[in-house]
Amino acid sequence: MVNGRRGANRLGCLFGLLLLVTALYFGVNVGEVYLRAYRLQDAMEQEARFARNHDDDAIRLRLMALADSLGIPESARHFQVTRSANLIRISTEYTEHVELPLGVRAIHFQPRVEHNY
C-alpha cells in the first residue's frame, strides 16, 4: 500500500513549531525584563506609602538591595528621594538590554512614584 502524501505537511508543521519555540524563548527574555521593572516599581510604591516612618537613606538602601537581588543594572541603584511638605517622590532611571533574533535591543525604564502622606 502506497501513501500519496509527500511529507510537505510535516515539514510545515516542524517549521511552525520552530517559530513558536523561538518566539517563546525570546518572549521569556523580554518578559523577565518587564517583570523586574514591575517588581521594582511596586517596591518603590510601597516605600513611598511608608515613607513617614523611614528616612531617605533607609529607603534608598532597601531599594538598592532589592534592585541588586533582582539583577537590575547598576545604574538603577541611584535612587532619587525628595520630600516636600506632604509629598515624597522616588525615582530612578536605567536601561536593560534584551537579546532578540535580529540583535540586542535596549529598553529604557524610568520608574517614578509620588505619594502624599
State how far the Cα of 102 lies from the Cα of 52, in Å rounded to an integer.
Answer: 47
What per-residue confidence (pLDDT) applies to 21? 87
Determine the pLDDT at residue 3.
58
In the three-class reduction of DSSP (H, G, I as helix; E, B as strand; rest coil), residue 107 is classed as strand
Cell numbers placing 51: 515613607
DSSP-derived secondary structure for 39-92? HHHHHHHHHHHTGGGS-HHHHHHHHHHHHHHHT--GGGG--EEEEETTEEEEE-
Give the whole-angstrom CA distance, residue 37 versus residue 31. Answer: 10
Could you tell me the pTM of the whole model? 0.81
Q: pLDDT tens across 72-81, in order? A: 999 999 999 9
Regions in the chain scoring below 50 on pLDDT:
none
Going from N- to C-terminal start, the domains of the chain cover 8-116
